Amino acid sequence: MGIVADTGKERTSAPIRIGLVDNDPYAVKVLQTMIERMGADFRVVWTCDLGAVAISRCLNPAKRPDVLVTDMSMGDVPGTEVCRAIRVKTPEVGLVCVTSYSLASFRDEAVRCGAQALVAKTDLSGIAHGIRCAARGMPMDGDGDGNGAGDGDAAGSKESGFMDAASAHMLLEDAGYVARGALSAKERETLRLYAEGLTTREIAVRLGVSAATVATFERRACAKLGARSRAHAISICVRRHEI
């Protein structure tokens, strides 16, 4: 993340790189100007008016900002879905949602989609504070200091249910695994035995099947879990208390 301290509008050790998406080109320019005036360390590194473009850039390590500020109402992809698509893939981008409408109509879904704050567009101090917290992967006021929080209609505190980026990523990632299908007993047992250090041949003997069948159980388990490797699959199951 882009900064190591949260000190209101004081200069920090490194700039906070910010991406901005809003389907209204005029609103994008106004928001960019306002955000860059909020802190000497704020850098808007790119803007766009399509949610799909914002998702693509946030998932590209070369273009990924520290924080994405996204409008909630857009034409191609709703702001909540922009947040979900990013958060399920990475915890590396802080997500700050802004809107001109009532926060209550977006709050619950913004929480579920892994955002760190939801702030009214008119709450400039709230936006600034939300960006600073999100740059550290934290929900607004999640550290309990309250410095720089907006006086208006803002939703980013623990009480509102917003999570840190890492926790939100883990929950959404796990939800995706469940959606892909539960492991069979044989698939789960195969991963458990690998975790105990057995070889493929030893597992085959233990299960009374061929080595090729063991490899099939492993391959299917990895596919269902969306795992990159056997070790990754085992770590997922350990985290989910499945083995």
CA distance linking residue 118 with residue 131, whole number of Å? 11
Express each pLDDT in 121-138 by its tens digit: 999 999 999 999 999 999
146: left (phi over 0), alpha (psi -120 to 50) or beta: left
List the structure tokens of 115: 């955002």
E strands in 84-146: 94-99, 117-120
CATH topology for the 185-240 domain: Arc Repressor Mutant, subunit A (1.10.10)
Give all strands of the β-sheet with 154-155 in edge-to-edge order: 42-48, 16-21, 67-71, 94-99, 117-120, 154-155
The pTM score is 0.66
- So where are the chain's domains? 16-143+161-175, 185-240
Average pLDDT value for residue range 189-205: 94
DSSP string, 53-75: HHHHHHTSTTT--SEEEEES--S
How far, in Å, CA of 199 to CA of 205, rounded?
10
**Stretch 27-45: mean pLDDT:** 95
pLDDT value, residue 123: 95
Question: Taking the domain 16-143+161-175, which CATH number applies?
Answer: 3.40.50.2300
Q: How confident is the model over 107-129, as a mean pLDDT?
A: 94
For residue 241, the model assigns a pLDDT of 75
To the nearest 10°, the Cα dihedral for 22, 30, 11, 83?
-10
pLDDT at position 158 is 43
pLDDT at 174: 64
Cα 50 off chain centre by: 19
